Structure 1
Amino acid sequence: MKILLCCAGGFSTNMLMQNMKKVVKESAKLDEKEFQFTAIPADSIESEIDNWDLVLVGPQIAHKIDFLKGILEPKNKPFAVIDKDVYGKMDGATVMKLALVTYKKHQLASQK
């Protein structure tokens, strides 16, 4: 799964991305070869989105969700906004769960 993290500048999200990579690496169930991550500023999403399976949005840009929906929904890309408390703790495990659940729900909905 290719996960795109999107925030204001890509800096704090880069730290969260490293924590997510660590969770995958240490997991007995997840294979790190099956995951790719990158963090970008929200303004770059249009040029990047086609190469990614899922978008996770940092809470500091939740106000841009309508702008992001306008790009993501026509391309049928699943996305979720990361909870501000989870983000503040840089909780890679909880964000990985959010990514996996969001992606699975999207897959199931697409099959209907």
Structure 2
Amino acid sequence: MKKILLLCAAGMSTSMLVNKMKNVATAKNINVLIEAKSVEELQENLHIFDVFLLGPQVRFKKNQLSEIAAEAGKPLEVINTVDYGMMKGEKVLEYALSLIK
């Protein structure tokens, strides 16, 4: 099972996108765990998740958080602003899965 964590300021705004991604995963029979949390929770979730996606509103933290994720050998990227704004669950899910080695 692949594990994807979306990170934003409080873990709230990404929860709608998580639900859209879960719906796509279910429809396509993709075995995946997707959750949303605050960026402050990255460290304690490093060992659980395979990939980390930042909400566009916290993109300014990418360099700092990428270093932490890289030390654990995990990818961390920013969600495309348009895909995030339009809640394109399928595109974000595909992007997340493409980042997992």
Q: Same fold (TM over 0.5)?
A: yes
Per-residue CA deviation, residues 20-50 of structure 1 (Å, 9 max, x unaligned), is 00001111xx43xx21111100011111111
| Mapping 1:1-112, distance limit 5 Å | 1-27=2-28, 30-31=29-30, 34-103=31-100, 107=101
Gaps of 5+ in 1: 108-112
TM superposition outliers: structure 1 runs of 4+ over 6 Å: none
Larger fraction in helix: 1
Question: Equivalents in 2 of 1:43, 1:24: separation in Å?
Answer: 26
Instruction: Mark the structure with the bigger radius of gyration.
Output: 1
Question: Equivalents in 2 of 1:50, 1:80: separation in Å?
Answer: 17
Q: Give the number of equivalent residue pairs.
A: 100
Equivalent residue letter for 1:62 = R
Under a length normalisation based on structure 2, what TM-score does the superposition of the two structures give?
Answer: 0.93
Root mean square deviation of aligned Cα = 1.0
Gaps of 5+ in 2: none
Question: Equivalents in 1 of 2:55, 2:9: separation in Å?
Answer: 8
**Identity, % of aligned positions:** 34
